[in-house]
Amino acid sequence: MRIVAAMSGGVDSSVVAGLLHEAGHEVVGVTLQLYDHGAATGRRGACCAGQDIHDARNVADRLGIPHYVIDAQARFRSAVIDDFADSYAAGQTPVPCVRCNMSVKFTDLLTLARDLGAEAMATGHYVRRVEGVGGPELHRAADPARDQSWFLFATTHDQLAFSRFPLGGMPGKDAVRGHAARLGLAVSAKPDSQDICFVPQGSYADLVARLRPDANEAGDIMSRDGRVLGRHAGVARYTVGQQRALGAASFDAGQRQAVLAVDAGRRRIVVGPRTAGGDRIRLREVNWLIDPPALPICCTVKLRARETPQPAAVVATQGSAAVQLDTPALAAPGQACVFYDGDRVLGGGFIDRE
Partner 1 sequence: MAYLDANATEPLRPEARAALLAALDLMGNPASVHAAGRAARRVLEDARTAIAARFGARVENVVFTSGGTEANTLAIAGLSAARRVIIGATEHDAVRAAAPRTEILPVDADGTADLDALARSLAGPPALVCLMLANNETGTLQPVANAAALCRRHAALLHVDAVQAAGRMETSLAALGANSMALSSHKLGGPKGAGALLLAPGYEVAAVIRGGGQERGRRGGTPALPCIAGFAAAATLPRPDLRPMRDAAEAHAIRCGAVVLGGNHRLSNTTCLALPGVRADTQVIALDLAGVAVSAGAACSSGKVARSHVLDAMGAGALAGEAIRVSLPWNAGWHDVQAFGDAYGAMAARLAKRAA
The site for partner 1 (CB under 8 A) is made up of 2, 28, 33, 50, 53-54, 57, 66-71, 112, 115-117
Q: In a 10 Å sphere around its CB, with 0-12 CB exposed, 13-18 middle and 19+ buried, how is residue 313 labelled?
A: middle
CB of 3 to partner 1, least distance (A): 12
Q: Taking the CB of residue 306, how many other CB atoms lie within 10 A of it?
A: 8
CB of 26 to partner 1, least distance (A): 9
Residue 328 CA to chain centroid, in angstroms? 24
Catalytic residue among 97, 197, 299, 337: 197
CB of 64 to partner 1, least distance (A): 14
The smaller minimum CB distance to partner 1, of residues 55 and 137, is found at 55
Is 337 a known active-site residue? Answer: no
CB of 193 to partner 1, least distance (A): 18
The smaller minimum CB distance to partner 1, of residues 60 and 331, is found at 60
Whether the CB-CB separation of 326 and 281 falls below 8 Å is answered with no
Residue 197 CA to chain centroid, in angstroms? 11
User: Which amino acid, one-letter code, is at 108?
Assistant: D
Catalytic residue among 100, 298, 299, 337: 100
The smaller minimum CB distance to partner 1, of residues 74 and 133, is found at 74
Is 197 a known active-site residue? Answer: yes
The smaller minimum CB distance to partner 1, of residues 50 and 178, is found at 50
Q: In a 10 Å sphere around its CB, with 0-12 CB exposed, 13-18 middle and 19+ buried, how is residue 125 labelled?
A: buried
The smaller minimum CB distance to partner 1, of residues 41 and 255, is found at 41
CB of 198 to partner 1, least distance (A): 16
Q: Which of 49, 47, 46, 45 is nearest to 37 (CA)?
A: 49
Q: Taking the CB of residue 279, how many other CB atoms lie within 10 A of it?
A: 13
User: Which amino acid, one-letter code, is at 232?
Assistant: H
Tell me the catalytic residues. 100, 197
